[in-house]
Amino acid sequence: MLAITSLLNPQNAQRINGIIQSLEDEFGLDDVQATPDPHITYLLAGVSKHEPLKQVLEDIATTTVPFEAHTTGLGLFPGPNPVIYIPVLRSDELNRLHRRLLHATEPLCLRTDRFSQPELWLPHISLALHDTTPELLGPVLQYLNEQTFNLQLRISNLAILRQEGEQFIPEEVYPLEGEDE
């Protein structure tokens, strides 16, 4: 499986990595660090045609104007290992890019994650996953509640993240190069 994402700009990535490091220091939560580059995921896909996928993403990137996105609050995906995240507010630009990516990559994918579908997609930045427990949830949320998570993000790239051993690393990064009309 590959992840098609946008990596955060260095300033926002540094802030998110600082929060993630503090969760490791305070609570021992470090599984999210398997993806050391904070990002927004558009879709997870099993890809049958890797080189054509790269071309499609490059084409989309060259015709997409960079834009602003915003975050606020904290979110939680429940379960035996709850995921704690910062929600990214959906906007027309973000929805449009997501739809373009789904449509353009569909013929190249063996399968996509069901949560990548427009009606289920919830853009977010993960802070803790896989090693959280319901028992840790209260103390972690109390700790995070002392901070604010209102970020302005510059969406300026598309990236392919692929698994290498225990980590997901950027394989390709395509800058958004479209121009305002």
Q: 85-110: per-residue pLDDT in tens? A: 999 999 999 999 999 999 999 888 87
Strands of 83-87's sheet in order across: 75-77, 83-87, 124-128
3-state SS, residue 89: coil
**What are the tens digits of pLDDT across the range 19-50?**
999 999 999 998 887 788 999 999 988 887 78
In whole angstroms, give the CA distance from residue 19 to residue 13.
10
Which pTM was predicted?
0.92
pLDDT band at 163 (very low <50, low <70, confident <90, very high): confident
3-class DSSP assignment, residue 6: strand
Altogether, the residues listed in the chain come to a count of 181
Q: Taking the CB of residue 162, how many other CB atoms lie within 10 A of it? A: 15
